[in-house]
Structure 1
Amino acid sequence: MLGAARATGDVLVFMDAHCECHPGWLEPLLSRIAGDRSPVAPGEVVAMDRHYFQNTGAYDPLMSLQGGENLELSFKAWLCGGSIEILPCSRVGHLYPRQDTRAPLDQEATLQNKVRIAETWLGSFKETFYRHSPEAFALRKAVKPDCTERLQLQRRLGCRTFHWFLANIYPELYPSEQRPRFSGKLHNTGLGFCADCQVEGDSLGCPVRLAPCRDSREQQHLELTSRKEIHFGSSQHLCFDVQREQVILQNCTEQGPAIHQQLWDFQDNGVIVHILSGKCLEAVVQQDSKDLYLCPCDGKASQLWRFDQVHTVDER
């Protein structure tokens, strides 16, 4: 960053030390930058207009250059009016060592960078990242980063949301019919607990019941998709299903008649209707458990639900 701050040329090029350049590698980058001031290559070799780089906040000064800085730069480019291009005519070889020589401290620094990126740029999708990286979640719980300056930068630049990135830049990462309309813990308004599966190991066939709400519990993260399926946990292959009026977890059905058993309508008044039967999802208290069943819809408090997160279909 010291070199970038003191540079006087029109173009900045960042490159890992262990790179080898093919003759003529720089000219295609300079030619493209002359017509478009956005970053043109991610990762180990990146070139961009110097003024563009500085005006969009440069590299995050509170991130160590131990990995993830290219993600921050790329998200910022796409979300804040720029773009990323890869130019095949510019050839640079990145030489990897035969084995990972990074010290544990370096790996922790990389994880800290990723947590900072999640807290700054991913919005509600950061919860998906934390579900897939328990180490990052634990690090965030221990020391939550101060992202005030980068969030102010987003507002100043008028940046879009990560939801927009998934919908418009990389839709194949998250097929539209599987994107969540609602996500997070599913709270029962009447009883004050969250939907959970309290079976260790394989959750197939597990009855869904209420348990105390806990942020750290992966089994309490649900997603109601645009296909009207309720996905369970981070695996994305288990869905709410019904067996003799009781709600259980079964493999998500992609097609065929069985799929209708797994379709739910979350209505504006907070009730979740099982589309096939027309009955409502209700938490039924019996002895020491609060299991989920289908019951006639009557609007009682035990039939009222809310998710942590709401995702608009066409968020800009």
Structure 2
Amino acid sequence: MQIKLKRRSLIGFSVIIVIYFIYLRATRSNREAKNVDSDLFISLDGENNNNQKSRFRDWNDYKLTEEEKTRNGFGEHGAAAILTNSSEIDLNEKLYHETGFSVVVSNKISVNRSLDSVVHSNCSNVKYYATLPNVSVIIIFHNEVLSVLLRTIHSVINRTPAELLHEVILVNDYSTNAELYDPLKKYLLENFPPKVKIKNLEKRSGLIVTRMEGARSASGEVLVFFDSHIEVQNNWLPPLLQPIVDDRKISTLPIIDYLDPFTFEYLPGQSNFQGSRGVIDWYLDFQELPKLPNDQMNDLKPYPNPIMLGAAFAIDRKFFIDELGGYDEGLQIWNGENYELSFKLWMCANRILTVPCSRVAHYFRQINPSRVSKDDYVARNFMRIAEVWLDEYKTLPKQLEPKRYENVDPGDLTIPKAVKKRLNCKPFRWFLNNIAPDMIERFPPLADPPKFASGAIQSVANPRLCIDNMGKLNDEKIGLDECSHDMLNPSLNQNFIYSFLKDIRQDHGRHEFCLDSYELRLTGCNNLSFGNQFWIYDKDSKEIIMNTSTKKCLTIILVNDSLTLDECNNEMTQKWNFAYVNETAYEYFNDIFGYRSILS
């Protein structure tokens, strides 16, 4: 039966709605101040479960939390562990360059160490479904440091509800380290329940194939994939499972924290619990962008994430294997599999959610011998993904790096293209427009995006001197040196770009380094258009201002020809000339990223 409302009824209904939203806005801050878990019984599909509270349960392990507080020792509570014995330091340095880990440090830290909580304080108030699916945790490894691997396993066993942990499947990708065979097997038998299992592959297969071997061996309802060098926070699992119960055609991700591979210190990432989103640039490198504004209203609520990092995620087992078809096993060794799965989840299924109340820490190594190869398998993987998933954007990586891709064969694409057709996947342009609308804004699909200024940065107070990287790049302080003869095209040390993101960067091939206001050092560009790498170059006053809120300017100290940040005062010591200033770009300086009008 069709119901027709009178005009007066519609007006009355509208008034009620307006009053309701005013009420929500007025009470939101009060709820948060009182630590009231306002979304406690609201499922992700919007169903209000306040009348069904018996369906929910507090999964926190308070006994473990209290027990860990009493622990003392080397590296306990996630503290940095520092060696003092000179012979140990020498051996540790040698092993660090061989493995990417401080092996001596790791071996001195308990494999069953405690961690202090870094989870948002309000997360402890959140309850999840009383009935959740069980999980198979899949951990693959190749020549992993044994104590690091054991710490990963202990962390999972200790901090996961036993009734939810169906099994832990370790898959050894044909390691050459003898410790990872009989000694590991013996330790597992003596220290863990039978649910911890190990499978040894008979040839080196790489991350993608090895994870699929683990997935096919699993029988849990949900798969959790972990790298072999992680440590989880208490109550990490229930927050990941509830969204999957609500919608099985998704994947959930924890917030990824950082573990220092040299000191084993736990370093919480995603400052202020805001979280970030993964995307790719057109080199197909993984990048991070902030949450979209609509997702920043609630620090605890799961939010959409375009591209997963891949080190830790949960997904329904049958959905992953039987419907999505798992990973493309034509991808080799490592890298790109997270892009391929992310595109499938967004373009062919429902979504990816990052869940802030789930925290998992990962060791990000600067040295990783297991990935050294004479073949550029990453280029092959990237080309394979581009050909299948990027549609009209697929040629961009080749345009940016023609030499890298000129002889790369992506292999037979029959199977991944058939999967894409079977799943009736949306086009890549849909992904850009709807899921990652800021990706093109931050990473325009151009080999040379417009810039505001470039070349040498010359001091007005002492025109003999220009800003120079002093032959140092990553996390080293910049300085001043004699200006290059050709300041439009100076030496690499003095060649800077004031980019459309309003950072001051140097381009060193595939790696770009940006001027960071912390200690005035060059560090990896964050591409965020705010924070420590955000600078305003006023072409009229010639000041380089550290964002607009600090009122501090880049300043030369004439007595020793060094650099500092000081209160802006319009003195000559705070005036700088870029060799080239793009006057056309400056006409659009106040556009969101200062380049869109130029492109159009």
Q: Measured at CA, do residues 135 and 13 of structure 1 come closer, stay the same or move farther in structure 2, by a change above 3 Å?
A: farther
**Does residue 19 of structure 1 match 2:19?**
no
Amino acid of the structure 2 residue aligned with 1:47: A
State the match for 2:357 in structure 1: 89
1: distance between equivalents of 2:583 and 2:431?
26
Q: How does 1:217-296 map to 2 (within 5 A)?
A: 253-254=584-585
Compute the displacement of 1:16 (Å): 0.6
1:45-89: per-residue Cα shift (whole Å, max 9, x none)? 011011110111101111124111111100111111321111111
Compute the displacement of 1:110 (Å): 2.2
2: distance between equivalents of 1:252 and 1:110?
40
State the match for 2:244 in structure 1: 33
Q: How does 1:94-243 map to 2 (within 5 A)?
A: 94-105=362-373, 108-140=376-408, 143-175=409-441
Count of aligned pairs between the two proteins: 191
Q: Measured at CA, do residues 19 and 158 of structure 1 come closer, stay the same or move farther in structure 2, by a change above 3 Å?
A: same
Compute the displacement of 1:137 (Å): 1.9
Unmatched 5+ residue regions in structure 1? 181-201, 203-250, 265-316
Q: Measured at CA, do residues 47 and 125 of structure 1 come closer, stay the same or move farther in structure 2, by a change above 3 Å?
A: same
Moved over 6 A (4+): none
Compute the displacement of 1:109 (Å): 2.0
SS at match of 1:17: coil
Compute the displacement of 1:22 (Å): 1.2
Considering Cα pairs closer than 8 Å and 6+ residues apart, tell me whether 1 or 2 has the greater RCO. Answer: 1
1: distance between equivalents of 2:599 and 2:387?
32
Q: Measured at CA, do residues 252 and 109 of structure 1 come closer, stay the same or move farther in structure 2, by a change above 3 Å?
A: farther
1:26-61: per-residue Cα shift (whole Å, max 9, x none)? 111112211122011221001101111011110111
1: distance between equivalents of 2:397 and 2:422?
26
SS at match of 1:174: helix
Compute the displacement of 1:97 (Å): 2.5
Q: TM-score, normalised by structure 1?
A: 0.54
**Does residue 45 of structure 1 match 2:330?**
no
Amino acid of the structure 2 residue aligned with 1:32: P
State the match for 2:205 in structure 1: none
2: distance between equivalents of 1:134 and 1:252?
31
1:149-199: per-residue Cα shift (whole Å, max 9, x none)? 1111111111011111111111111149x789xxxxxxxxxxxxxxxxxxx
State the match for 1:299 in structure 2: none
CA contact (8 A) 1:28 1:89 kept: yes
CA contact (8 A) 2:345 2:351 kept: yes
SS at match of 2:353: coil
SS at match of 1:88: strand
CA contact (8 A) 1:64 1:110 kept: yes
State the match for 2:64 in structure 1: none
1:85-114: per-residue Cα shift (whole Å, max 9, x none)? 111111111112343435431872222211
Amino acid of the structure 2 residue aligned with 1:170: A
Q: Measured at CA, do residues 252 and 75 of structure 1 come closer, stay the same or move farther in structure 2, by a change above 3 Å?
A: farther
Amino acid of the structure 1 residue aligned with 2:417: L
Q: TM-score, normalised by structure 2?
A: 0.29
CA contact (8 A) 2:251 2:351 kept: yes
CA contact (8 A) 1:33 1:48 kept: yes
State the match for 1:3 in structure 2: 214
2: distance between equivalents of 1:5 and 1:100?
27
User: Which stretch shifts more, 102-111 or 86-95?
Assistant: 102-111
Q: Measured at CA, do residues 139 and 16 of structure 1 come closer, stay the same or move farther in structure 2, by a change above 3 Å?
A: farther
2: distance between equivalents of 1:252 and 1:75?
39
2: distance between equivalents of 1:105 and 1:76?
28
Q: Measured at CA, do residues 123 and 263 of structure 1 come closer, stay the same or move farther in structure 2, by a change above 3 Å?
A: closer
SS at match of 1:48: strand
State which structure, 1 or 2, has the greater radius of gyration over its C-alpha atoms. Answer: 2
2: distance between equivalents of 1:151 and 1:115?
14
2: distance between equivalents of 1:5 and 1:85?
24
CA contact (8 A) 1:57 1:153 kept: yes
1:195-234: per-residue Cα shift (whole Å, max 9, x none)? xxxxxxx8xxxxxxxxxxxxxxxxxxxxxxxxxxxxxxxx
Amino acid of the structure 2 residue aligned with 1:253: T
CA contact (8 A) 1:66 1:110 kept: yes
Q: Measured at CA, do residues 9 and 137 of structure 1 come closer, stay the same or move farther in structure 2, by a change above 3 Å?
A: same
State the match for 1:72 in structure 2: 340
Compute the displacement of 1:25 (Å): 1.1
Compute the displacement of 1:136 (Å): 4.3
Q: Measured at CA, do residues 263 and 135 of structure 1 come closer, stay the same or move farther in structure 2, by a change above 3 Å?
A: closer
CA contact (8 A) 1:115 1:136 kept: no
State the match for 2:325 in structure 1: 57
1:245-274: per-residue Cα shift (whole Å, max 9, x none)? xxxxxx6934759x9xx899xxxxxxxxxx
CA contact (8 A) 1:112 1:136 kept: no
Unmatched 5+ residue regions in structure 2? 1-211, 254-307, 447-488, 490-581, 589-594
SS at match of 1:59: coil
